[in-house]
Chain A
Amino acid sequence: MSEHATHQRIPRSVATGSFLEQDSRKTAMWAFIGSETLFFGSLLAAYLVYKPRNLALGGPHPHEVLDINFTAVLAAILLASSVTMVLSIAGIRANSQKRFLGWLLATALLGLCFIGGQVIEFATLFNETFQTVTITHPDGTIEKRGVLSHELEHDGLHAIEAAAPAGSQIEVDETKRPITLDTSLFGTTFFVLTGFHGTHVAIGVIWLLSVFVRGLRGGFSPINYVGVEIAGLYWHFVDLVWVVLFTVIYLI
């Protein structure tokens, strides 16, 4: 074969630069993140689709059972972990192993704090019970509301009576149901959605710790830190999901 008609084989790292300069692992990570947006999109769709039905069937109202202040702290923790993560990458870029490893460990610890917070949140919900109050309006329409048992014991039906139109019949279902996966559509959708986010955080923590161990053994340098970067991308994405969930579930 004549020289000009053929192309000499070039090492992959150079030959592959035809379109992108980035490491292929980063491309793969972004593709995976793109896929994950639809994973969480589907879960969130189920939550939003069932939100009105949950209320119509007398399930607990998210705002009444969720502790927004506590979750705001969790959101802050996760955001802070994103900052530490990006500082860790800045550290390895500047060839400072100390900053890299320190911030990385801080990120993993903040992630653990978040998981701990979520465990507390779930446990609180499991221990809480709610009852369904059925309000029959004078015009015959039936409205159902899920009310926390301890609030019912504390305040009685005053608030509900005040809000309902005069002449409504109010019935309280005596069965106290804990807030779990199978007692309401809220439980069904909320625990699966936030639980899967929590699982992602847990996987992220394990990943960060394995990067940390490898970093301790000098596995990364300013010219070779893609391993840190893709773990960081994953971590930021998990944080991003929480930004959305926090607003959509807890605040709205």
Chain B
Amino acid sequence: MEQVWEKAYNFKEVMNKPERLAGGHRMCAGCGGTVTVRTVLRALEEGDKAVIGNATGCLEVSSFMYPYTAYEDSYIHNAFENAGATLSGVETAYNVLKKKGKIKDNYKFITFGGDGGTYDIGFQSLSGAMERGHDMVYVCYDNGAYMNTGTQRSSATPQYADTTTTPAGKVSSGKVQVRKDLAAIIAEHHVPYVAQSTFTANFKDLYTKAQRAIYTKGPAFLNVLSPCPRGWGYEPSELMNICRLAADTCYWPMFEVIDGKWVLSYEPKNKLPVEDFLRPQRRFKHLFKKENEELIGELQAEVDRLWEALKKRCEL
């Protein structure tokens, strides 16, 4: 049987599906998080019911401000660190109520968290939910810092980024550490599906990965680079270009881990230098001072190292 994610991708058709995140929410122009949510929810088959979960963050406070919700589906926000556990409870309730014949419809379970709520404070709750095998999708919209509270450093923040808690200064070059590789960590939970994506030209990569995540039985994790214009310092209109540069510099590799097998989704024809990704962003501005040249070299070396390691994992 052909799986939903194996169907030919028709951009026009996909974009014409009804929106499940209504307009009028309060997210910023040029926000990647909202694009991630819309693309992932679009991957639900029309007619399929869903419960959407959400960790506290920009997305939650901007899309469900009482008494208005932007979601066309049932939705639950609980707190910052427990999107995984909360949806575990919803999904378990579904299973038992279905078994007892109290509900008849089919539901899918998708939860969204920013990198702060996913890599850091919600890490344990996410790990538990993945390990227990709930049939749900956890989507991290990774913008590389605590954006809702004003761009504080998270463990997803790239090295040398200027954040409000790792400011570049006279004796500081921004964040000291490299970012945590969360997709690999969740893959080590031996869940059936993990993928890393972002939105490139026609949204095919994220859309089909979301389909696969939603329609694969068991826990799935999507890590989606979702730029933040305020935290990163780019023009809102540059959103898609930033994502493309993240992919083409191999700063943000796109891959899948399907039942433990690593598959590379995209290999740029011309791998661009990482500084092409860094240059349009205010958070890396300090790296382009003369005295910091070697830091860009360090970042390039780290990108190259991870890229080679990923290709090895994908047996390329």
Report whether chain A binds chain B. Answer: no
Name B's A-contacting residues (CB within 8 A). Answer: none
Name A's B-contacting residues (CB within 8 A). Answer: none
